[in-house]
Each structure stands twice: as C-alpha cells, then as structure tokens.
Structure 1
C-alpha cells in the first residue's frame, strides 16, 4: 500500500507540474505571471523541493542505470500493448498521460526500492534503521 502511495504522490507531482489539461502549474503560471508572481514562485519552489526529494532518492536507490531499466521495461510493456492492438498512440493527450505514468513509476519505484528489495530478498539495506 505504501508503494502505491509513493507512486501516486510522484504522479501527482508530475501531473501538477504539467498535463494535457489546462489545470497544471505551467499553464497557470504562464497565464497569471504578471498578477500572481509571488505565489507562482512559492508554488514553483514547493514543486522543485518535491522533485529534489524524489530524484535524490531515486538516484541513490536505483541510479541512472536502474532508472533506464524501469523506463525500458515500461516502454517494452507499451510496445506489447500497441503490438496486440490494445493501445493506440494516435491521441497526443493519451500519450502524454502515458508518459506521466511512466515517469511517475520510475520515481515511485526509486523511492520505494529499499522496501521492494527487502520484500523480495528479505535483506535490509545498510541505511535501514529500526527504531
């Protein structure tokens, strides 16, 4: 359950920053740049902090090679779905949502990797501290 929550938070972070609807930080900040600059800067810094937390944890846990492997696995899954005709790539909005899901899965796996590895192998990381 915690892994799904981490993935949902990563998805919310990415979707809040940009998505194909008009309800995202980038669209809002461009539309309201002159009127709400302090709020845009504050919310942008909050998003940046979220990205730093997720990226730092992901890079420390699975590294760039692991990130590439997770993305390759997701790309292969999408390729299989497309090849079987279960997925159409005609709609740009759907493609963007698929990209957001893929990136959020990478960040979610990266943030949850210690828990995933412990569940699979039964071994704890050296950074894990039981208090």
Structure 2
C-alpha cells in the first residue's frame, strides 16, 4: 500500500502541473496571470517544493542511473505494448498521459525504494546523519 500511495501522489503532482485537459497549473496560470499573479506564484512555489521533495528523495535513493533505468524499463514496456498492437500512439492526449504515468513511476519508485529494498533483502536502510 505504501508504494501505491507514493505513486498516486507523484501522478497527481505531475497531472496538477500539466495534463491535456484544461485543469492544470500551467494552463490556469498562463490564462490568469494578470489578475491572479499572487495566487499563481503561491501555487507555483508549492508545486516547486513538492518537486524538490520528490526529486531529492528519488536522487538519494536510486540516483540518476536508477531514474534512467526505471524510465528505460517503462519505455520498453510501452514499446512492447505498442509492438503487439495493444497500445496506439496516434492520440496526442493519450501520449501525454503515458508520459505522466512513466514519470510518476520513476518518482514513485524513487520515493519508495527503501521500502522495496527492505522487502526484497530484509535489510533496513538508515538515513545519512549530517555532521555539524
């Protein structure tokens, strides 16, 4: 359940930022910048903080190589689904949602990697302690 919640939170974060519907931060802030500048800035900063948390945790747990590997595996899975005719890539909106799905998997796995590794290996990770 822990991974699913983290993945859904990453998916929601990415979808709130941008998606093919009219309900996203990028579209809303570009249309309402003049009359809602303080609110647009506040929402942008909140999204920025959420991205910092997710990206920092992901980089610390799986690193750039791991992020690339998860993204490559997800891309290969989509390629297989396309090659077998299960997935059609002709729809632009569907492609954007697939991109959001792929990136949310990377962030969800990155944030949950300690839990996944503990279940696979039985070993517990501890955080680095900052030296003063």
Normalising by structure 2, report the TM-score. 0.95
Alignment partner, residue 13 of structure 2: 13
Partner Cα distance (2:118, 2:95) in 1: 33
Partner Cα distance (2:127, 2:37) in 1: 40
Alignment partner, residue 56 of structure 1: 56
**How far off is 1:126 after superposition?**
2.7
Alignment partner, residue 75 of structure 2: 75
| Aligned residues between the structures | 128
Partner Cα distance (1:61, 1:110) in 2: 6
**How far off is 1:127 after superposition?**
2.1
Task: Give secondary structure in 1 for the equivalent of 2:118.
Answer: helix
Normalising by structure 1, report the TM-score. 0.96
Alignment partner, residue 92 of structure 2: 92
Task: Give secondary structure in 1 for the equivalent of 2:125.
Answer: coil
**How far off is 1:2 after superposition?**
1.1
Partner Cα distance (2:118, 2:127) in 1: 12
Alignment partner, residue 35 of structure 1: 35
Partner Cα distance (1:107, 1:46) in 2: 17
Deviation by residue 1:88-113 (Cα, 9 ceiling, x = unmatched): 00000000000000000000000000
Unaligned runs of 5+ in 1: none
Alignment partner, residue 112 of structure 1: 112
Unaligned runs of 5+ in 2: none
- List structure 1 runs of 4+ shifted beyond 2 angstroms: none
Task: Give secondary structure in 1 for the equivalent of 2:109.
Answer: helix
Partner Cα distance (2:83, 2:43) in 1: 41
Partner Cα distance (1:94, 1:54) in 2: 24
Relative to structure 2, which stretch is displaced further, 117-126 or 59-68?
117-126
